[in-house]
Amino acid sequence: MQTNQTYLKADVILAYLLNKDDNLDTQITCGGGASSLITSDQSLYEALGAVRPGDNFVSNRLLKFLENVDVVSYRRLFGREKSVLTTGRIDELRCKVLSTSSKKSSRSDAPDGMKELPGPYVSSAIPPAAGFPEAHVTPLFTPPKPPSQGAALSAPSDTCPSVLSSAGQELHKKRKQEACHVKKEDKKGDMEEGNSKNAPGYIPGRWNVKEKDHGI
């Protein structure tokens, strides 16, 4: 039966959450060994509030911490009211943890088959200093699929027959011939109209017919 209790301060909790201490990892994973681990809601609140975007914070470590460490009321434990977390306190905790830690480990806390991603893991929608941060893991980036080779030829232009199939080239040639035929017919009609204007009895704006059609 465990009789001794070990109290974890805010800087110790922050070092564990950011994976900065191998010995602390072993102690918390084993549940404290011969002594039970305990902390207050004030210390946990300060440690979580000191986490910043870009830190190596993974929600699995927080879950493991809550499994093996008893969190008690700061008011009941010390008989004092909880204090509000300030920027100065956050800077103090981060300076202490980041300057004294020399952990170099290749172990990943990410799920099997997934590489551990760099931060941020704390949701920017809820400021960490405001309370309990949202357990959020940035999803893996999925690169866009390259377009298929046939996508660029799905809608060829009439001005580029080189990219058409044999059937398309025949259709393009036929359309070009029809367009040339229409232009010739229009030109022929203009010539006939010009000749009729030179005929005697021509009146602009009226139907003009040959004299023999009226029996004149």
Number of domains in the chain: 2
Average pLDDT over residues 33-51: 89
Average pLDDT over residues 117-122: 32
Residue 139 lies in a domain: no
**Which of 213, 181, 178, 187 has the alpha carbon at shortest distance from 199?**
213
The residue among 91, 112, 130 that closes a domain is 130
Report the pLDDT value the prediction gives residue 128, as an integer from 0 to 100: 38
Residue 9 lies in a domain: yes
- Do 54 and 119 touch, CB atoms closer than 8 A? yes
Question: Is 209 found in the same domain as 114?
Answer: no
Average pLDDT over residues 33-46: 87
Comparing 170 with 42, the larger pLDDT belongs to 42
Q: Give whichever of 53-62, 126-135, 144-153, 183-192 has the largest mean pLDDT.
A: 53-62
The amino acid at residue 154 is: S
Question: Is 202 found in the same domain as 117?
Answer: no
Residue 182 lies in a domain: yes
Residue 11 lies in a domain: yes
Task: Write out the residue range of the structural domain in which residue 103 sits.
Answer: 4-130
Report the pLDDT value the prediction gives residue 101, as an integer from 0 to 100: 56
The string of pLDDT tens digits covering residues 8-33 is 999 999 999 998 877 888 888 776 66
The amino acid at residue 140 is: L
Question: Is 124 found in the same domain as 172?
Answer: no
H and E: helices and strands count for the chain:
7, 3
Comparing 25 with 52, the larger pLDDT belongs to 52
Exposed e or buried b per residue across 18-37, where buried means at least 16 C-beta atoms within 10 angstroms of its C-beta: bbbbeebbebbeeebeeebb
Question: Is 200 found in the same domain as 108?
Answer: no
**Which band of pLDDT confidence, cut at 50, 70 and 90, is reported for residue 79?**
confident
Query: What's the chain's Rg over C-alpha atoms?
Result: 42
Distance CA 43, CA 14 (A): 9
Question: Is 13 found in the same domain as 117?
Answer: yes
Residue 146 lies in a domain: no
Question: Is 120 found in the same domain as 30?
Answer: yes
Question: Is 164 found in the same domain as 107?
Answer: no
Report the pLDDT value the prediction gives residue 149, as an integer from 0 to 100: 52
The residue among 76, 110, 130 that closes a domain is 130
Report the pLDDT value the prediction gives residue 191, as an integer from 0 to 100: 57
Report the pLDDT value the prediction gives residue 153, as an integer from 0 to 100: 47
Question: Is 115 found in the same domain as 41?
Answer: yes
Residue 137 lies in a domain: no
Residue 208 lies in a domain: yes
Question: Is 37 found in the same domain as 118?
Answer: yes
Report the pLDDT value the prediction gives residue 81, as an integer from 0 to 100: 87
Say whether 122 sits in a helix, a strand or coil.
Answer: strand
